[in-house]
Structure 1
Amino acid sequence: MGSIKNEFAKDINPNHEQIPLLESLKSYSNTDISCFDVPGHVKDQGVEILNRYFGEEVMKMDINSSPNMDNVANPKGVIKMAQKLLADAYGSDEAFFITNGTTQAIHCMILSVLNPGDKILLPRNIHKSVINALILCGGVPIFVQPEFDYNLGISLNINPDRIERALEENKDVKAVFLLNPTYYGACTDLKRVVEICHKKGVLVLVDEAHGAHFPFHFDLPPSGMSVGADMAAVSIHKTGGALTQASALLVNKKNIDYKSVQQSINMMQSTSASYLLMASIDGARANLVENGEEQFSKALNLSRYAKSKINKINGIKLVSTEVLESEGVEFIDETKLCINVKGLNLTGLEVYDLLYQNFSVQVELGDLYNILALVSIGTTKKDIDNLIEALSIIAKTHRKNDSLKELNIKQINPEIKLKPREAFYAKKESVDIDKCANRICAESIMAYPPGIPIVSPGEVITEEIIDYIKLLKRNNAYLTDMKDKDLNTILVIKEVILNTVK
């Protein structure tokens, strides 16, 4: 392989048939070179069991940075060129490869714009990574409740009017953080939100973990970059086809110092970022640009086919475009199949288990009322037919007589007593769950997936929250992030603190 020169880093007319990083990695892996650097398996020479299970080609491509392969901390060659192509594909000014998932992208995004004490406006149904980012930077959350669908038992998205009112009430907010889409595919009128925020000099940060596919088909919702958001964290692996943990941070430079973003990334990202993950973004980007419209046309057709069949099953309802009638929902991602199973008197958690154990069907999640199935570029009609058949059998053979109405799912909006960072570092004690009412929580508790905190550090635990946690426990939800894995106790602030966040 010839030397990769810095000409690759110059501004060029984008040619998305190019896969500079993936191609260079493949070429380097085939080079006859004696390696005295990390990783210690030295291509396919050291660990035969990994060669057998992963394949020799994968092991050869698991490398560290070298003169020809560039360095993600200060890219000047093939990585810089690949990132420029990614930025062009997503319509952003800059794009940064992230190798620890969109969790890390969100951390870097927030750290690069918030100083300790800065306020950020955000929905209550955010991923735990946002709260953890605020612990890291000392930011102050101002929550705005998203709309809630009581039939589905899920939060949707935020009405732009609520954001505008919240900004009037909190004139010192520095940034607004939004989901595009929510876990269940609901999108607000993001363009209007951007207009509202920018008129007030407020930044717009977007969690687009589940919207990596949006720019590549006209029937999908608008992406954050396309409507002028300042930054977006995008899970290329979730819906774009890259390897797991491969993500990106997209930046529009008008209001953002992108060099500060790079500094935040260098602080948070490993100095041994995976070339397999970064190269998979390069390949996925080329595929999305070249084949995305065709592949997502197929995915959307499969989603609509699934809806037509599943809605004929007695007791099951596939809800998609109907939620457009809800406030705060301007667009819906039809590739996310939110399947309401409440009519079977089964929880979504029970149906999730039945699908996997009895029918070898793996869906994204089950909650108390629904299951969520994702249709992607790799989904086949056979996969869809297997899902339809399995649900049909479950509806006939596992329907229960007992009603689920007593679940009474509703939106929880805890009171904030301490900033997340203050709560994280405060003295703590574990207290019996039945004695935690009116105590300040010192940990995050959530069902995973999707990883949305029921209660977070600094929030007041109420009887309502305790009842909801017990409800999830009774229904075998997978609860995570708490110190006591059985959740008989909750970690709370040791001293009683009465002053509220200012």
Structure 2
Amino acid sequence: MSENRTRFRLDQRRAPIYEALEQFRQMRVVPFDVPGHKRGRGNPELTAFLGQQCVGVDVNSMKPLDNLCHPVSVIREAEELAADAFGAAHAFLMVGGTTSSVQSMVLTVCKRGDEIILPRNVHRSVLNALVLCGAVPVYVNPEVDKRLGISLGMKREQVEKAIKEHPNAVAVLVNNPTYYGICSDLRAIVKMAHDAGMLCLADEAHGTHFYFGGGSLPVSAMAAGADMASVSMHKSGGSLTQSSLLLIGPNVHPGYVRQIINLTQTTSGSYLLMSSLDISRRNLALRGRQVFHQVADMAEYAREEINAVGGYYAFGKELCNGNSVFDFDTTKLSVHTLDIGLAGIEVYDILRDEYDIQIEFGDIGNILAYLSIGDRPQEIERLVSALAEIKRRYHTDGAGLLSQEYIDPVVAASPQEAFYAPKKSLPLRETEGMVCSEFVMCYPPGIPILAPGERITKEILNYIEYAKAKGCSMTGPEDPDILHLNVLA
């Protein structure tokens, strides 16, 4: 504890929401409030499935348990502990996933007509926020690694150019890291934004562990001086799915951020999600550095073993070039598969269907195995063995495989303008040259191939049809089969 005591101002052994729920459980209060299952008695099948321990604390906001919309006691204490653990001026517990965190972050700084500088390879939640508020994106189109087909980070000179050409932009948004583990030079981008009078926002959906890297992982947004960061605790931090944190620095007013959050977040915050954030924050504060050091070591071992198989390329810090790949998240086990003649999504399907191994995603050329605090060495060995066997059984000529994951968009209208404009539905191939009014993406990772306001090109249509044929899970359009697209009328 001595190291932790020097790091933290507050007693990180506390978990006030969890403690309040345990005290509430012992009180045996008679429930004449919601939820209607009444501590599970009204829904025995659900109780049998989830367990009495779980449904017994699925409760409503009440004075002893505080209120997420306006916390004054245990939730506020939990937020103060989270801010302390993550080095933020303030932290907000979010129960709408990191989508809610990202949207609240963008809605806090942007209003209709404002410009915001961002890379195009953002999660759809960022562009959804622009649809809601009417802000206009200024895209910094990232470079693409030609071998891997993946988009890289934002180069410093690209950001500098965008700031110079759009001096009235309100903020710069950065992925820290990308889904594949690529990091931009966040400290430099923060300084450029601040020097221009802009805020810097970070989508850290895949960077929770950066706050507990102890210098061995890329810099976190708060340590780099960013103004706001969306941190997906459920991804690498161990909390329940749909729980997240929104962190802010000293230059953002927390009262206004709370108002923005309350525009869209539920008034019935789940105590299961909030207590999972509370307990997970405590776990990371007390043990995070040690645990994530072990995770990084496991990922490095897996990279070496997979590369020794041959045919695959499990990439890592060797990609760093000081700019567009300023740093790399070594916990990310991303593997290029095209050299064995299989698309990433094909390897993804084989691993699940024939080896009972569920990885995070497979796309056109790569797979991602998401390593975090719950992984063990024996599972790493099983994954490596399966990949070796897949190569032996399925290796083929890769002729005809697409490699490009990212296609620069041609923006013809703002996302809000295009989303709400009069539209018509056309067969997919008849939309070439038209302006799209909806999203099309592979999920995961949820980065749009097309977003509202972007012109549909032949290259994009080829990519959509190829991804569908290879079995990528496609989402976004009104037409679930993606045989038609909505375009501006």
Give the TM-score normalised by the residue count of structure 1: 0.94
Find the counterpart in structure 1 of residue 70 from structure 2: 74
Q: What letter corresponds to residue 19 of structure 1 in structure 2?
A: A
Does the CA-based 8 Å contact 1:428-1:442 persist in structure 2?
A: yes
Find the counterpart in structure 2 of residue 403 from structure 1: 398
Does the CA-based 8 Å contact 2:364-2:405 persist in structure 1?
A: no
Q: String of CA shifts for 1:349-408, please: whole Å, max 9, x gaps.
A: 1100111111111111001111101111110011101101101111111112x3245525
Deviation, 1:411, is 3.6
Deviation, 1:253, is 2.4
Q: What letter corresponds to residue 236 of structure 1 in structure 2?
A: M
Q: 2:28 aligns with which of 19, 25, 32?
A: 32
Farther-moved stretch of structure 1 (419-428 vs 84-93) = 419-428
How many Å separate the matches in 1 of 2:42 and 2:484? 46
How many Å separate the matches in 1 of 2:277 and 2:83? 12
Find the counterpart in structure 2 of residue 356 from structure 1: 352
Does the CA-based 8 Å contact 1:147-1:156 persist in structure 2?
A: yes
Farther-moved stretch of structure 1 (323-332 vs 483-492) = 323-332
Does the CA-based 8 Å contact 2:434-2:456 persist in structure 1?
A: yes
Find the counterpart in structure 2 of residue 252 from structure 1: 249
Does the CA-based 8 Å contact 1:30-1:60 persist in structure 2?
A: no
State whether structure 2 residue 346 is matched by structure 1 residue 346: no
How many Å separate the matches in 2 of 1:346 and 1:337? 18
Instruction: Give 1:408-423 correspondences, 5 Å limit.
Output: 408-409=403-404, 411-423=406-418
Q: What letter corresponds to residue 95 of structure 2 in structure 1?
A: T
Q: Where does the alignment leave 5 or more consecutive residues of structure 1 unmatched? A: 1-11, 495-502
Find the counterpart in structure 1 of residue 97 from structure 2: 101
Change (3 A) 1:370 1:326: farther
Does the CA-based 8 Å contact 2:9-2:84 persist in structure 1?
A: no
Q: 1:334 aligns with which of 322, 330, 335?
A: 330
Farther-moved stretch of structure 1 (268-277 vs 465-474) = 465-474
Does the CA-based 8 Å contact 2:156-2:188 persist in structure 1?
A: yes
State whether structure 2 residue 272 is matched by structure 1 residue 276: yes
How many Å separate the matches in 1 of 2:309 and 2:224? 39
How many Å separate the matches in 2 of 1:379 and 1:415? 41
Q: String of CA shifts for 1:243-295, please: whole Å, max 9, x gaps.
A: 000001101122x2221100011111100010110111110010001011111
Find the counterpart in structure 2 of residue 224 from structure 1: 221
How many Å separate the matches in 1 of 2:327 and 2:139? 22
Deviation, 1:118, is 0.3
Q: What letter corresponds to residue 167 of structure 2 in structure 1?
A: K
How many Å separate the matches in 2 of 1:376 and 1:408? 28
Q: 1:51 aligns with which of 39, 43, 47?
A: 47
State whether structure 2 residue 115 is matched by structure 1 residue 119: yes
How many Å separate the matches in 1 of 2:198 and 2:469? 43
Farther-moved stretch of structure 1 (334-343 vs 319-328) = 319-328
Percent of residue pairs bearing the same amino acid type: 41
Does the CA-based 8 Å contact 2:176-2:203 persist in structure 1?
A: yes
Deviation, 1:152, is 1.0
**RMSD over aligned Cα atoms:** 1.2
Instruction: Give 1:1-400 correspondences, 5 Å limit.
Output: 13-218=9-214, 219-254=216-251, 256-325=252-321, 327-400=323-396
Find the counterpart in structure 1 of residue 468 from structure 2: 473
How many Å separate the matches in 2 of 1:124 and 1:345? 29
Deviation, 1:49, is 0.7
Aligned length: 481
Q: String of CA shifts for 1:110-131, please: whole Å, max 9, x gaps.
A: 1111111000000010000111
Q: 1:426 aligns with which of 408, 421, 431?
A: 421
SS of residue matched to 1:325: coil
Q: What letter corresponds to residue 19 of structure 2 in structure 1?
A: E
Does the CA-based 8 Å contact 2:207-2:232 persist in structure 1?
A: yes
Does the CA-based 8 Å contact 1:147-1:327 persist in structure 2?
A: no
How many Å separate the matches in 2 of 1:183 and 1:108? 21
Deviation, 1:410, is 6.0
Does the CA-based 8 Å contact 1:342-1:404 persist in structure 2?
A: no
Change (3 A) 1:405 1:326: farther
SS of residue matched to 1:296: helix
Does the CA-based 8 Å contact 1:336-1:372 persist in structure 2?
A: yes
State whether structure 2 residue 454 is matched by structure 1 residue 455: no
Q: What letter corresponds to residue 107 of structure 1 in structure 2?
A: Q
How many Å separate the matches in 1 of 2:430 and 2:305? 48
How many Å separate the matches in 2 of 1:308 and 1:275? 42
How many Å separate the matches in 1 of 2:415 and 2:355? 43
Does the CA-based 8 Å contact 2:148-2:403 persist in structure 1?
A: no
Q: String of CA shifts for 1:151-192, please: whole Å, max 9, x gaps.
A: 111112111211011111111111111100000111111001
SS of residue matched to 1:311: helix
Find the counterpart in structure 1 of residue 3 from structure 2: none
